[in-house]
Chains A and B, each alone.
Chain A
Amino acid sequence: MQKIKPGRFGNFGGQYIPETLMTEVNRLAAAYDHYKNDPDFQAELTTLLNDYAGRPSRLYYAKRMSEDLGGAQIYFKREDLNHTGSHKINNVLGQMLLAQKMGKTRVIAETGAGQHGVATATVAALMGMECEVFMGKVDTDRQALNVYRMKLLGAKVHAITTGTGTLKDAVNAAMQEWASRVDDTHYVIGSTMGPHPFPTMVRDFQSVISREARAQILEATGKLPAAIVACVGGGSNAIGAFYNFINDKDVRLIGCEAAGKGVNTDQQAATMETGRTGIFHGMKSRFIQDGDGQIAPVYSISAGLDYPGIGPEHVHLAETGRAEYVGVTDDEAVDAFEYIAKEEGIICAVESAHAVAYVQKLAPQLAKDQIIICNLSGRGDKDVAAIARYRGVDIHD
């Protein structure tokens, strides 16, 4: 990737944050620059990823789905089987090990679906650090199970009522909290967003997904896949799944955005399709906004994709034509959620179901000797109640 200066992906990225945070963010960038090349740090991180999080995650051949769809051979990268139930743990272990090296004793995090909050609360318990999680009130309501999990793990959860009460507002609140207390506190940003070094650092920590997947598919089949498919909100599981395939020019990289009730409605979060370049949450990237630049309310059934922006590296990959982004509606995602459960016996996160839905469309268009790797970013236990509600089923006992 051609970079103009550190923290830039083409024209995107940068450090658009208040001066109250700049010194800390620069300190973080310097610490990351140091530790990313430190073999002891990397060895310690690998041990945590393997022994604690359960890596490497499996690359599973979905035989029934491949046969049913009648086209490409489908493999799932099983990030849902990681400890805490999603890819989020990869980044959290990396950032919190770094925070510990920097002498931090407290972490804060934003969370949408709660997967990143749970991962942060988990590692805080493991490392003996204090933890506070910021979560939109709409999300604490629709992801009540994860709120309770975080509390069990010893974290304090703040339900944010400002704005739309979703992920964007949780990020605002976490940034405000960090600006008031940087000395002992690290802000564990959960996606490839925010000011430099976060988009680069989070991508590096998540790139373990594609490093493993590339070796696993070559080992299993002797060839590279035709396409990688992953869901995109801020974009951390997608960039992790794409990264080590970027130089394999024949591998299509496909990000699946939340089209909610349709990209032609105002109930959607498909940033690539309906957003434009702007400056928000510390980065120049693409955002859904009005003509003046006021950030627009967005919507998705999936709390983890319900965000009006996207990581800057994705915008660069889109503008250079290296990656494609497609919208998947709530209806399609819920259908896919049920399909993969019945077909493969996997209850995946409703976020990941957006990627599964696109695999259902793509696979029949490809030949039988072609391969799709779909990143199953998380498991769906947290979503079962919401899916039941969506289907009008009362499961209260």
Chain B
Amino acid sequence: MTNLKTVFANKKAFIAFVVAGDPDFAACADNIVALAEAGADLVEIGIPFSDPVADGPVIQAADLRAFAAGSTTAKVFELVAAVRKRTQVPLVFLTYCNLVYQYDYDKFFTRCAELDVAGAIIPDLPLEERDEVKPIAEAHGCHIIPLVTPTTPPERIAKIVANVDGFIYVVSSMGITGTRDNIKTDLNQLVANIRKYTTTPTAIGFGIHTPEQAAQMGAVADGVIVGSAIVDIIGQYGREAPTHLQDYVKAMRAALPE
């Protein structure tokens, strides 16, 4: 199993997000390989959900493309198996709790471990409910990646980051996923609050799309997460996306601090 610590070792991490099956399963595998080859340190694979309440229009549109391509949880695991024959890039899933619950928590993380998927980000599984899933994931060597947001108070951050050693997903802004030109949150303060309680790496996501933002956020945290901007490229270029993705990742990577 990939140790997520390696993702953040001696460099700022660039984390890319794609929706599984967008625009179809073969092209999606090519996109993941292209992202890895261009220097993505970790790829988050979104398992599409019918009602993605934490996601904005760009990712919702990608979910619809994936459903049109016949996405099911079983097909997503087949995709990962195909990807694993071509790259050893660290992977995590991002999906909603019901899909994991219906697959069965134990079976889900058994499959994750078999395919070297290091963990899952589950936006609708907050601190209050995560004990339902976290011990099962950890029994298979997988991480549940918690989220910290601009409204999370320090005493709550302390509880969220306790006993977490994958990474901490720092949500840059309130609302839903999607590119933003201005990120107003005092992220220095937020990341400083997290670091008071843990040495686990932090990665900032929600809204980041330009190299300038990557430079700025990379100076604050241990990594940056880019979702909607990448999904946009896939939406725009379809099967021609891999070269465009590589150019984009290289530009973003280059902008990150050493």
Contacts and interface: CB of A to CB of B under 8 A. Distances in A.
A16 B97 contact: yes
Interface stretch (A265-273, A286-294, A299-307, A380-388): A286-294
Contacts of B53: 18, 172, 175-176, 179, 281
A163 B61 CA distance: 11
Given A18-B53, A292-B73, A294-B50, A181 B174 contact: yes
B126 A15 contact: yes
B128 to A, nearest CB: 5
A294 B49 contact: yes
A16 B102 contact: no
Contacts of B175: 20, 176, 179-181
Contacts of B50: 163, 294-295
B129 interface: yes
A162 interface: yes
B63 to A, nearest CB: 10
B127 interface: yes
Interface string A7-29: 00000001111111011100000
Interface centre among B50, B74, B96 (most CB of A within 10 A): B50
Given A182-B151, A289-B102, A22 B73 contact: no
B62 to A, nearest CB: 14
Interface in A169-187: 169, 172, 175-176, 179-182
Contact of A17 (B101, B124, B152): B124
Interface in B139-190: 146-149, 151-153, 156, 160, 171, 174-176
Contacts of A15: 126, 128-129
Interface in A250-294: 278-282, 287, 289, 291-294
B147 A18 contact: yes
Contact of A293 (B60, B103, B176): B103
B74 to A, nearest CB: 8
A106 interface: no
A176 B123 CA distance: 13
A176 B176 contact: yes
Contacts of B73: 292-293
Interface residues of B, number: 36
A142 interface: no
A278 to B, nearest CB: 5
A273 B124 CA distance: 26
B149 A19 contact: yes
A312 to B, nearest CB: 13
Contacts of B146: 19
B98 A20 contact: no
A168 interface: yes
A389 B170 CA distance: 52
A182 B174 contact: yes
A279 B174 CA distance: 23
A190 B250 CA distance: 48
A281 B53 CA distance: 8
B98 A19 contact: no
A24 B176 CA distance: 16
Nearest to B73: A292
A347 B197 CA distance: 61
B138 to A, nearest CB: 20
Given A16-B97, A292-B99, A22 B126 contact: yes
A168 B128 contact: no
Nearest to A180: B175
B2 interface: no
Interface string A128-171: 00000000000000000000000000000000001100001100
B72 interface: yes
Nearest to A23: B151
B51 interface: yes
B187 to A, nearest CB: 15
Interface centre among A19, A169, A278, A279 (most CB of B within 10 A): A19
A357 B78 CA distance: 49
A16 B125 contact: yes
Interface string A346-388: 0000000000000000000000000000000000000000000
A172 B124 CA distance: 13
B99 A293 contact: yes
A279 B176 contact: no
Interface in B68-110: 72-74, 96-99, 101-103
A291 B54 CA distance: 22
10 contacts: A19-B126, A22-B127, A163-B50, A168-B51, A169-B51, A182-B151, A278-B101, A280-B98, A292-B73, A293-B102
Given A169-B51, A279-B96, 8 more contacts: A15-B129, A16-B125, A17-B124, A18-B124, A22-B152, A22-B156, A179-B176, A292-B103
Q: Give the top 10 A-B pairs by smallest Cβ distance, nearest first.
A: A180-B175, A293-B102, A293-B98, A294-B50, A19-B147, A279-B97, A279-B98, A295-B50, A23-B151, A15-B128
